Amino acid sequence: MKILLIEDEEKAVKFLKKGLNEHNIDVDFALDGSAGVELAMTNEYDVIISDIIVPGMNGFDLTRHLRMHGIKAPVILLTALNATDDKVLGLEVGADDYLTKPYEFKELLARLKALSRRGKETPPPKLILTFGDTEMNLTGKECTRQGKKIELTPKEFALMEYFIRNQGRVVSKVEIAEKVWDINFETSSNVVEVYVNYLRNKIDKPFEKKIIHTVFGVGYVLKDE
């Protein structure tokens, strides 16, 4: 998340910037109104926080200005005043929220999150991993090759996912045992071999080109040829 902070008290800026950064929020700031507008019009922010009283342009005018120019980023106004009339004016001008100083940092953070959330109500994107003509849809737990659906059991799916995430790199059996099976000790089991075999039957056998290759003495690798 990236926000714009318009505030003329440098101490406040510093404090907020530090606090917000700790929560993984990027902060651009401007020390006066016009600089703020300038930044707001040339960058995309998730939220804009502005003190009501800043040099150059007050928070109301600033908000009105932004709205007139089609900038829809949510605006939070900060003020030392507690007059209802100011709040009303702020909201009417197009601000989205209002915080009275002294405010608690926690509250500011919560409001930030609430506001930024509203812009992004799109469902999470489909997670899809691919290698050549092979595709894995992690959202739907589906695997296809050349458009044909391939039914995989959970372990097979996990193994294939590990291969596809490490395509082109040779992965050892020990590594696979650790990452896919959570086996950390030396073991004489041959599960990995068995499952590689299962996978090959489904992923390679029915097709022209094989993509799961054995590197003798080292491990396996997912690649063309």
Interacting residue ranges for DNA, rule: CB under 7 A: 151, 153-156, 173, 181, 189-191, 193-198, 200-201, 214, 216-219
Cβ of residue 214: shortest distance to DNA, in angstroms?
4
Task: Choose among DNA, a second copy, none what residue 69 binds, the Cβ cut-off being 5 to 8 Å by kind.
Answer: none
103 Cβ contact partners less than 8 Å away, ≥ 6 residues apart:
78
User: CB within 8 A of 11, min separation 6: which ones?
Assistant: none
Q: Which of a second copy, DNA, none does 97 bind, CB closer than 5 to 8 A by kind?
A: a second copy
Which CB, 10 or 178, lies closer to a second copy? 178
Residue with tokens 């996978």: 199
For the chain, report the end-to-end CA distance as a whole number of angstroms: 43
Pairing of strands 75-79, 142-145: unpaired
**Number of other residues whose CB lies within 10 A of the CB of residue 179:** 15
Task: Look at residue 190 and give the partner it binds from DNA, a second copy, none, a contact being a CB closer than 5 to 8 Å depending on partner kind.
Answer: DNA
Residue whose entry in the numeric block shows the structure tokens 């509250």: 107
Binding interface with a second copy (CB under 8 A):
72, 84-85, 87-88, 91-92, 94-97, 104, 106-107, 109-111, 113-114, 117-118, 121-122, 139-141, 149, 153-154, 168-170, 215-218, 221, 223, 225
Whole-angstrom distance, CA of residue 6 vs CA of residue 213: 58
Nearest-approach distance from CB 153 to DNA, in angstroms:
3
Nearest approach in angstroms of CB 165 to DNA is: 18
Owner of token pair 């071999």: 193
Which of a second copy, DNA, none has residue 214 at its interface (CB below 5 to 8 Å by kind)?
DNA
CB of 186 to DNA, least distance (A): 12
- Asked if residue 36 lies in contact with residue 12, where contact means CB atoms within 8 angstroms, the answer is no
